[in-house]
Structure 1
C-alpha cells in the first residue's frame, strides 16, 4: 500500500467506512464526528485500520480529531505520515 495515490487511499477509506456505516454514503469532506457517525469504539477501530492498512504507527500526538474527522482528513494524514517515515507521498 506504500505507493497508493491520494485518490486510491480515499477509495479504501470509503470502503472501510461503508462497511461500518451500513452503506451510508458520506462526502469526502463530511465531518464524521459532528454527524454522529463515529463513536469512541469506532474511532479506535479506525485508527487500528489505518495502522494496519498503511503500515503506519499512529502515536498519541496523531490522535487529534482533525486527523480523522473526514475521508479527506484521513487521506491527508496518511500522506503526511508516510512522508515523515520515508514512505513517499
Structure 2
C-alpha cells in the first residue's frame, strides 16, 4: 500500500507521516508516545519490532530501507522515522503517485 495524500500530486509531508506513525505505534504497542520519545530506550519497542517498522515504512511509503539506513538510530523516534521516510522518498524520486 502506498500513500497518496493531500496535495493532489501525491506529496506527503512530515506532519502526515508523523501522525500516521503515531497511530500505527498506538495500535501496536497500545501506548501513546511523543514524536521525540526514544522508543527503544523507554522499553516500549524491541529490536524485533524494529523489523515490523521497517516493513511497515517500506510498504506504506513505497521506499526501500537498505544498507546504512537500517541502523537502529533511524527508528529510535517517530521524528527520526519521519526524517528517514522523507529523505528516502526524495532520493528515490517519490514525490508523485507510485
Structure-1-length-normalised TM-score: 0.91
For residues 45 and 3 of structure 1, what CA distance do their matches in structure 2 show? Answer: 24
- 1:32-83 CA deviation, whole Å, 9 max, x = no partner? 0100111122111010000000011110211112211101000011001111
Q: Which runs of 4+ in 1 moved over 3 A?
A: none
* Partner residue in 2 for 1:56: 63
Structure 2 unaligned segments of length 5 or more: list them: 4-9
Q: 1:84 and 2:91 equivalent?
A: yes
Q: 1:36 and 2:26 equivalent?
A: no
For residues 13 and 63 of structure 2, what CA distance do their matches in structure 1 show? Answer: 16
Larger Rg belongs to = 2
Structure 1 unaligned segments of length 5 or more: list them: none
For residues 88 and 63 of structure 2, what CA distance do their matches in structure 1 show? Answer: 7
* Partner residue in 1 for 2:72: 65
